[in-house]
Structure 1
């Protein structure tokens, strides 16, 4: 496959920390343009409006959308209708329905749509999936606790409707869960919402599977000091633990060798493969769990949150 030109829309923290470095390392893509109301990228064409980019750079066949979920749908529609392949940063949209609509639109227009879940590309996730194959899962426990001030400084959109709150990191855990165990569904949820915000800062989530096991998950954005991203899966053959967001794996305390940490490099490798094969990859399973948590969840008011 020849090197493909790509544009990145939304030059914020995640684009600068992950997308731009991975594109720079990629042999499949070449950064040709950036679209952002506030940020710019040196050495490429910069636009403040996606429509202006689509009209001016018809030679760029792919777009990575790194804007917040709420405005992403309209931008994805415009790019797909302009015949561009589209990569969606997670979560892929503000609702399940709009993501499914985008998948259908991409099919109708013959372009690739890739709804990314970067944590699935963590080095220990695929080894964990293979280890779990054929084993009986008895119980799953997820603890996903981090400091919102460290990872989302000054990002007001995450607290607004469609911003997901603590589900923004929590959905990473759910993306790993849905990739390595049989399907689960939400049974109960408690959503802790600061008095001055609209989205939760903490969540306790209960899930079940037809395979016979339960899942308990705790997401919290108030963790100071060391951060915790851990999934523990008890099976008939021992306890598997995925730590550091899927970067490390152990079984009954025995550390197993993983691969190199390169989640976003893996995303762009997969995107290139999808484009070459003329396929899309749009899995909404993690997003459905979040949506159902809001449907059945009990909201609890907690202390105001201030930056």
Structure 2
């Protein structure tokens, strides 16, 4: 698993007026440097866990720790905590607060009490990294959903967090927009940011993640390397989580074509084609 970046210890949380806990004695952790997918059916506690991780909610019981440092809930501690952790909401409208793209990204930088020169430098860098230069002065309400998601994500990343949390980022996106999001996430991860995505889309998680955490009714059920988790098809079915079609196809091919078990499982159709092409190459004399 590697180094634990964020730890949840005996976490209980029930929403005001709720009849059952959203999280019930949960113990889990987020490994550093990984691309982490948080899976589970609607109501399993995924979003609640992200909100607790960002300090938006306070557990009724348990502790949250960053590198063994306990989260405290006074304003100063929360401000410091949120400089390390960024959260992108499922609905970008909940995050966009200014009139234009540039103003919205700059707003989060002003809260860090940076100098004008540093704000200008970070704003320009962020607009360039997210390909938003041509939209910098556009009103936010003129943007598409995919563009709004990109602006919201840019605003979070302008603060340069070490850990980025995303709640259902692919919801309502078409295949092109999802592909663009994947490219952005790969770039962010390659630059050194640990990522956690809460999703019920197992095909997306299969393609993207290398570490999986599965919640069910507010409790941790499974966690581990993606290949190990998806190998447990029967257990996933019990949790009403369907195994991705590409994984099932790969298992059939391995069984029927006698492919080596050592071959890495393909995460995309292109990757599958490449592996089959390499396997079919005639050996050199």
TM-score (norm 1): 0.28
- Larger % of helix: which? 2
Which of the pair has more CA radius of gyration? Answer: 2
**Which fold has the larger relative contact order, with Cα–Cα distance below 8 Å and residues 6 or more apart in sequence?**
2
Taking structure 2 as the reference length, the TM-score comes to: 0.30
